[in-house]
Amino acid sequence: MPRPVTIAERIERAHILDRPITALSRTVVRALPAGSRADALHGVPFGQPAHPALVRLPLGCWTSAVLLDVFRGSERAARVLVAAGVLGIVPAAATGLADWSALHRDQQRVGMIHLGCQGVAGLLFSGSLLARAGGRHGYGKALSAAGLLCASGGAYLGGHLALRLGAGANHADQVSHLSGLGWHDLGPLSSLPEGRAVRRQFGYLSLLVYRSPDGVHVLSDRCAHLGGPLHQGRIVTERGGACVACPWHGSTFRLADGRVVHGPATARQPSFETRVTKGGLVQLRPRP
**Residues interacting with ligand FES, by CB under 6 A?**
102, 223, 225-228, 246, 248-251, 264-265
| CA dist., res. 121 & res. 65, Å (int) | 14
- Helix 105-133 to helix 4-12 angle (10° resolution) is 120
Q: How far is the CB of 216 from ligand FES (least distance, A)?
A: 22
Report the residue number, 64 or 220, with the smaller CB distance to ligand FES. 220
Closest CA to 86 of 112, 114, 120, 115: 120
In the DSSP assignment, the letter for residue 184 is E
Contacts of 76 (CB under 8 A, 6+ apart): none
Specify the 3-state DSSP secondary structure of 270: coil
Cβ distance to ligand FES smaller for residue 34 or 57: 34
Q: Which is nearer to ligand FES, 140 or 264 (CB)?
A: 264
Q: What is the DSSP letter of 12?
A: H
Q: Which is nearer to ligand FES, 101 or 128 (CB)?
A: 101
Cis peptide before 264 (omega within 30 of 0): yes
Q: Write the single-letter amino acid at 191.
A: S
Whichever of 187 and 227 has its CB closer to ligand FES, that residue is: 227
| Shortest distance, position 161 Cβ to ligand FES, whole Å | 15
Query: Nearest approach, Cβ of 48 to ligand FES (angstroms)?
Result: 15
Cβ(122)–Cβ(40) below 8 Å: no
**Cα separation of 91 and 162, whole Å?**
18
What b/e readout covers 262-284, taking b as 16+ CB neighbours within 10 angstroms? bbbbbbbbbbbebeeeeeeebbb
DSSP letter assigned to residue 216: E
Is the sign of the CA dihedral 64, 96, 28, 148 positive or negative?
Answer: negative
Shortest distance, CB of residue 214 to ligand FES, whole angstroms? 25
* Distance from C-alpha of 133 to C-alpha of 138, rounded to nearest angstrom: 12
Question: What is the smallest separation between the CB atom of 288 and ligand FES, expressed in angstroms?
Answer: 24
Is the Cβ of residue 51 or residue 79 nearer to ligand FES in the bound state? 51
Q: How many residues does the chain have?
A: 288
Residue (81 or 162) nearer to ligand FES, CB: 162
Q: Which residue number, 69 or 99, has a Cβ lying nearer to ligand FES?
A: 99
The residue type of 159 is G
Closest contact distance (angstroms) between CB of 33 and ligand FES is: 15
Least CB distance to ligand FES at residue 262 (A) = 9
Minimal distance in Å, beta carbon 230 to ligand FES? 7
